Amino acid sequence: MSRLVGVVVVVLLAVVPSAQAAIGIQVDQKVALVGASLHVTAFGPAGTAGMPVFLAPASIDFTPHLCDANSICGPTSDGPPSAPFVRIGHLPKSIDVFHTRRMSFRVPAVRTGAYRVVVYCEPCVAGTAGSLIASQLTVRIAPT
């Protein structure tokens, strides 16, 4: 299974627009309390500053899929996503592809459970849709 995931990642990096391939976000903790800080690490090119960041239930499938006979596409959204996604902030100016940036977001009042951190990248997809770039690991949100 891990071999298949590695092959998919390599293929994605070859076919996904360069802006998306250069954006990443990871969760730096396993559990976060409502009202407390959620620590993440992000990187991306200069154009990523200000991109919105969301919490999304881990049950949402962010698996890349075949979008035609010759292409693999990541998940997209027609505009910034809405419920069940919950906006927690945006990427700061100082992120760039050569440096990672550790940042914190306040965990809003959401149901307890497993979540992924997701960046909405409007310029990563041609047309009106934007790309949803999700953390691979999940964070469990717990009550205070």
- Residue 73 confidence (pLDDT): 83
> Which residue, among 144, 141, 108, 109, has the nearest Cα to 32 in the 3D structure?
141
What pLDDT digit, counting tens, does each position of 102-131 carry?
A: 899 999 999 999 999 999 998 888 788 899
- Residue 64 confidence (pLDDT): 85
- Residue 97 confidence (pLDDT): 59
What pLDDT digit, counting tens, does each position of 15-33 carry?
A: 344 444 578 899 999 999 9
pTM over the 0.85 mark: no
- Residue 95 confidence (pLDDT): 58
Residues 6+ away with beta carbon under 8 Å from 142: 31, 32, 33, 34, 112
CATH of the domain at 95: 2.60.40
> Which residue, among 117, 121, 115, has the nearest Cα to 88 in the 3D structure?
117
Number of domains in the chain: 1
Q: What share of the chain is helix, strand, coil (3-state, %, to 5)?
A: 15, 40, 40
Q: Which domain holds residue 120?
A: 2-142
Measured at the CA of 127, the angle between CA 77 and CA 130, to 5 degrees, comes to: 30
50 Cα distance to chain centroid: 14
What pLDDT digit, counting tens, does each position of 87-104 carry?
A: 999 988 765 556 678 899
pLDDT value at 13 more than 90 = no
